[in-house]
Structure 1
Amino acid sequence: MSDIAGTVKRENAVGRLSAQEAAECAAYAEDYVGYLGIAKTERRAYAEAVRRIEAVGFRELSTFETLKPGDKVYRGYHGKTLMAAVIGQEPVANGINVIGGHTDAPRIDLKPVPICEKGGLAYFDTHYYGGIKKFHWLVHPLALYGVIVKPDGTKVEVAIGDEPGDPVFQITDILPHFGAEQSGKKVSEAFDPEDMDVLIGSAPEPGADKDVKETVKRNILRLLAERYGVTEEDFLSAELELVPAGMPRDLGLDRSMITGYGHDDRVCA
């Protein structure tokens, strides 16, 4: 069959690359995969972006007394939004070139008072952010990232789940042979977001009296106090997010693709 006049022929660009171009493309992609593994939240994306632009000569705007053509400047906002610029030769009135991107991605956020105990198990009470397919987040290992601000203003960075030996967290689901009712529902109705609590522990506080309630929750609070020096009240001034645990990987036997959390969102940044 002959081609239809006016249609666009789509070809795989990889086949047209020279050996040098293919090597440059692979190196760029490898660097991007490294960025993707670090930048799992907006705050981490911001910090990594600042590190990278400072390495090529950008400086914080407040360090300049005056600006001249060629100066590389940046300004951050609350550790989550970054603006960088190279000062041009012509007045701003003549126009500027702007490139924008976003670094947020669907995730599971902790509520302000998140730790609860139900049925002898401890959970994080959560709500989701972004357009998620809820069933994608069930029974997958999750990592916890974020910051807790203590009453004295001290910021405590939290990162649990991606380092070797770290524990992970999980949203549980009903077993298939008990899930006939769930299977008969529409996907949009089968998974209630209010049931997407994240399992974080099952061991009671060591030495707890049998009459003491919520000993599993008490044990979780004890562990958090030991590791981070925080209390339950400190969670009121925290920003904590759960994201899929694990690093981005090459996809396919030919390693021609990338799979990893946030890829669809952060590729634009």
Structure 2
Amino acid sequence: MEAEDFWLEYVDARGESRGGPLEVMWRARFETAGQVRAFPSYRGQRNFSGWYWAATCSELVGYESWVELGHLMRLDADPDVVAVASQPFRLSWRYGGQGRRIRHTPDYFVRRRDGTAVVVDVRPDGRIESGDAAKFSATAEGCARVGWGFERLGVLDPVFVANLRWLSGYRHPRVRREPVAGAVLAVFSEPLGLLAGARAVGDPLAVLPVLYHLLWRRELAAELRTERLSAASLVRLAPTAVREVGWDADSPEAAVAG
């Protein structure tokens, strides 16, 4: 049964509530919107929520689980992403003329460098019940109507997440220092071990933070999905025209609908 009568509600940058048909409201800048709901907090809570400072947009972005945090870091490291907003809007719809409205709040709204948008829900494969699947399917249908992409993402590989977490500590733009950054890029124009390359530039204590920042920004590339980053990791200059496979969301962990 197809969803119909999509209605969207959100909180604008001034904190005012807005609502209307999806086909009318979709042009809003949801990357600057406030969260439409707060994260719950209670005794015995199993999930872990918090705030992550995204270097991409220099804003705090919320997450409700370690799984969400992993994807949030991955999005923040993607040079094609320019903004991410948490709990960006509430979408509701009916099925087949039924009176009761079904509601769903996606986890993230992602704005890409080319101006396109992707709506993201994060849910491990083993935690999707029939009602959840129906909501994800309807959300994907609504997104398709207005030209948005939709992704339902599962659990990232723990090795990849560990590498993301380490590199995220060097995500702030101030970590990139010249002329060190230029020298690091020059050294890794040919594949070289991480520590060997750092030593070729100078004192590793001064060089490594810059090197990690360049890996985070994907100006340098290394195998991050199957191997923990180490002194021996092979690092190379990242191709400018081809997205590094190690960072791509188009993987077994990502299920795309719509």
- TM tier, smaller: under 0.3
Q: TM-score, normalised by structure 2?
A: 0.22
Structure showing greater relative contact order (alpha-carbon pairs closer than 8 Å, 6 or more residues apart): 1
What is the TM-score with the length of structure 1 in the denominator?
Answer: 0.21
Higher-Rg member (1/2): 1
